[in-house]
A and B are shown apart, each in its own frame.
Chain A
Amino acid sequence: DAGVTQSPTHLIKTRGQQVTLRCSPKSGHDTVSWYQQALGQGPQFIFQYYEEEERQRGNFPDRFSGHQFPNYSSELNVNALLLGDSALYLCASSLGLGLTTYNEQFFGPGTRLTVL
């Protein structure tokens, strides 16, 4: 049973460019969340997708956008890259939104984005 997978593993971009990161959830999971982990910091919640809609959003600008596909996989897009966007981007999947009970999240290995 494959866990959460992310691609690519590493990415180097320059300021002002756009980037797309991809995530495939654990088999059977339908909810995907994205987190940004800057160097030396804890992960910060970006947003969450369920039924192809953004359900929750953290304190991130509109340059960060996402998408969820019918097969539950997800993309994170970042426009107009800044140096401060350099980070490890983590994807987590779960079954359901967890509004009444907690649904365990499983994390992928992350995509390391470097902005030069």
Chain B
Amino acid sequence: AQSVTQLDSQVPVFEEAPVELRCNYSSSVSVYLFWYVQYPNQGLQLLLKYLSGSTLVESINGFEAEFNKSQTSFHLRKPSVHISDTAEYFCAVSGTGGGNKLTFGTGTQLKVEL
């Protein structure tokens, strides 16, 4: 079984400032890791994923996350945020060979202010 901890329920940040959303996971097997974004009244959109290979993964809109196996972490970072990044961000884990079942954290609300 897997579990995900997102310690920060809300992260306020000013526009153009850097941000880090923290995610730690627990699993007895190898994992795939994901960040999803959810805008108000919408479903989930995949932001980026780690399956294998390079531990640093990037999205097309400037976010990046680094898989750290020793610290069981997959923190999400962006060097300069925009108002449009305001949304709920969910970290998720799936056990390899686990049939695509996702276990999500409780989410972090990123609020970008002018």
Contacts and interface: CB of A to CB of B under 8 A. Distances in A.
Interface of A: 4, 31, 33, 35, 40-45, 48, 55-56, 58, 90, 92, 94, 97-100, 102-110
B32 to A, nearest CB: 5
Main secondary structure of the interface of A (DSSP, over half): loop
A56 B99 contact: yes
B105 to A, nearest CB: 5
B90 interface: yes
A89 to B, nearest CB: 11
B17 interface: no
B100 A94 contact: yes
Contact of B100 (A41, A42, A58, A102): A102
16 contacts: A35-B102, A40-B106, A40-B107, A41-B106, A42-B105, A43-B90, A44-B104, A45-B101, A45-B103, A48-B99, A99-B99, A102-B51, A102-B96, A107-B36, A107-B44, A108-B43
